[in-house]
Structure 1
């Protein structure tokens, strides 16, 4: 196998892994029904924009906000929720991608 073929295979596998983790994150968000409060595009509704939050916060702060929530403000804590905890890195990557524009609001991961 040539170096070019190995490189192309690596790029292809990386793209598949990224697409799968993004799809997993998107499915976790759908099951948790984040859109109920944050809007169908997660840009804000009764609760603030998750996309805007990802744009302005560190990865650590973003993850802590999801896992610890803010119960007095109506944001549930997802620490202990295996679906969210198992996909927290992918969820962060999804919203970071939305925040930097590399993932469109209209994108439905896993259905491209």
Structure 2
């Protein structure tokens, strides 16, 4: 039985298609806003959230592992904080605390959803390492 070149190409492409699908966040309502493999390999948006975390120096108050220092543990906080509450807190800060408003930080504002995805993944326990890398 002969297999056509087209069928062979398609069969060879299936693993690559599966890898892309695995590394792409789901758009389903209620689905996690991140995709993670092996505890630290994440989709591109979640990786950008990690980079935003680093560039905004959030670790100075919340710790390198998001477990809290001067500011609270985000691992704990994001278990109960809604996404809307997270956005409000990051955008406006928290009066009478050391949490500053990031509304003037274009990088943070542009990547707010990505930052949330990264921190939510850490809080959910799906992202097991603070430092992540791109899923292949």
Question: Which residue of 55, 66, 86 corresponds with 1:42?
Answer: 66
**Displacement of 1:106:** 3.9
* Residue in structure 2 matched with residue 57 of structure 1 by the alignment: 81
Q: 1:110 to 1:6 in 2, by over 3 A?
A: closer
Q: List alignment gaps of at least 5 residues for structure 2.
A: 1-8, 26-41
* Residue in structure 1 matched with residue 128 of structure 2 by the alignment: 104
Length-normalised TM-score, structure 2: 0.68
Q: 1:84 to 1:6 in 2, by over 3 A?
A: same
- Does residue 12 of the first structure (1) align with residue 20 of the second (2)? yes
Instruction: Report the structure number with the largest CA radius of gyration.
Output: 2
Q: Which has the higher helix share?
A: 1
Q: Are 2:50 and 2:131, in contact at CA under 8 Å, matched by a contact in 1?
A: no
Inter-partner Cα distance in structure 1 for 2:109 and 2:130: 25
* Residue in structure 1 matched with residue 49 of structure 2 by the alignment: 25
Residues 25-73 of structure 1: per-residue CA shift (max 9 Å, x gap): 1111111111111111011011101221111111111111111111431
- Root-mean-square deviation over aligned CA pairs: 2.8
Q: Which has the higher strand share?
A: 2
